[in-house]
Structure 1
Amino acid sequence: MLRLRDLTCGYGRSAVVHGIDLEVGADEVVSVMGHNGAGKTTLLRAVVGLLPAMSGTVELAGEDVTRRAANKRVKAGMAYVPQGQQCFAHLTAGENLRLVADGRKRGRALVDEQLDLFPALRPLLARQAGLLSGGQRQQLAIARALITEPRLLILDEPTEGIQPNVVAEIESTIVDLAKRGGLAVLLVEQHLGFALQAADRYYVLRSGRVASAGATGAGAETSVREAMAI
């Protein structure tokens, strides 16, 4: 679903991510790990088109989207949930969902489907989004992204500042979505337990380069810790 080939990107003339090769298969969850400053968020911003590639290519479902604007990539099937449980704080939770669903053929059904995935949001639909807890806002942010019916869901630190019980719910939802088929997930995460349990494969970035990659499972945590020098 996603293939990065020798991707280099950064800010201005300064490269932050260097020569990254990365793949996410259809219906696969892939995690990207690394310390702060390793280049994880920069990589995601280049994937979704918020940063230009200095060199290399970004392919979505076999199609080169390297030079496409971010909104064109969304139309092609990418959805991005950045750090910080972002939402329209002055709107209610329900209004946040309907804003994305408006104009879509299955708008109302799409909202209902996300509320089935995140039932904790149902009693909060009339509450201003800015008054929700961090975990509730994160669920809302993911639900909004899923309303666009993406082929690739990109999540940046979805567990940051979230209480453990909500982390478990989000992990379960991500895994279930991938198992249903039709959705690949690229997950940037510092929470090793979450990243390795939710993902099928992993990459570790260090100083903007891939330091380790492999399948999750037996021995993966040791390899990740060694690559991160924890």
Structure 2
Amino acid sequence: MLQLLDVRTGYGRTEVIHGVSIEVPSDGVAAVMGHNGAGKTTLLRAAVGLLKCTSGKVIFDGEDITRLRPSARVARGLGYVPQGQQCFPQLTTMENLQVVADGRRNGRQLIDEQLDLFPALRDLLSRRAGLLSGGQRQQLAIARALITEPKCLILDEPTEGIQPSVVAEIEAAITELTRRGDLGVLLVEQHIGFALEASQRYYVLESGRVTASGEGGSASEADVRAAMAI
């Protein structure tokens, strides 16, 4: 599905990612873990095209998309939910969803599907998004990305800074999405237990390099924490 092959990227003359290769399955989760500053967000920005690769390739669905703009990658089926529970704060919850759904042949159906996935949003459709809690905004951000019908969804710290009850709802939604078998997920996540449980493949990133990787079900939290201490 999505492959990053020996990718190098960074900011200006500062290289942050040093030859990283990861692979996201077409119907499962690849989790990337690591301390703050390890380069996780930078890696995702390279995958979605917000940062140019100085070398290496990004392959999606068998196509080299390394030189494509972010909009072209989204059109091919990449969805991206950055950190920060991003939304249009002055618009209502429903208007945030409609902005993405408008112009899509099955837009209303797609909105309904996301409201089924995140039922807590149904009672908040008329509320301005800026008045939602952090967890509610994160659910809204994921729902908006899913309306684009991605083949691969890139999630950057989807449970960061969110109350535990909503964390559980978001984790359940990610698990449900991948259980359906038609969506790949590239997940950056600080909750190691959930990341390992949800993923088919995991990678530990430290100082812009992969220091450990393996099958999600084959590793323990202790293994990952040990790799992160390197």
TM-score range normalised by the length of the shorter chain:
over 0.9
Equivalent residue for 1:205? 205
Aligned residues: CA RMSD: 1.0
For residue 116 of structure 2, give the secondary structure of its aligned residue in structure 1: helix
* Structure 1 residue 196 displacement after superposition: 1.6
Structure 1 residue 154 corresponds to structure 2 residue 157: no
* Structure 1 residue 218 displacement after superposition: 4.5
Q: Which runs of 5+ in 1 are unaligned?
A: none
* Structure 1 residue 200 displacement after superposition: 1.8
Which has the larger displacement, 168-177 or 80-89?
168-177
Q: Which aligned pairs between 1:165-204 and structure 2 lie closer than 5 A? A: 165-204=165-204
Which residue identity is paired with 2:125? L
Equivalent residue for 2:13? 13
Q: Which runs of 5+ in 2 are unaligned?
A: none
Q: Which aligned pairs between 1:9-158 and structure 2 lie closer than 5 A? A: 9-158=9-158
Which residue identity is paired with 1:42? T
**Which string of whole-angstrom CA distances, capped at 9 and with x for unpartnered residues, describes residues 80-128 of structure 1?**
0000000000000000000000000101110011001000000100000
Which residue identity is paired with 1:121? L
Separation of aligned partners in 1, 2:95 and 2:203: 36
For residue 37 of structure 2, give the secondary structure of its aligned residue in structure 1: coil
Equivalent residue for 1:221? 221
Which residue identity is paired with 1:12? G
Separation of aligned partners in 2, 1:170 and 1:203: 21
Separation of aligned partners in 1, 2:27 and 2:221: 23
Separation of aligned partners in 2, 1:170 and 1:160: 11
Separation of aligned partners in 1, 2:172 and 2:190: 17
TM-score by length of 1: 0.98
Separation of aligned partners in 2, 1:225 and 1:80: 27
Separation of aligned partners in 2, 1:175 and 1:191: 14
Which residue identity is paired with 1:143? A
For residue 205 of structure 1, give the secondary structure of its aligned residue in structure 2: strand
Kept in 2: contact 1:20–1:210 (CA 8 A): yes
TM-score by length of 2: 0.98
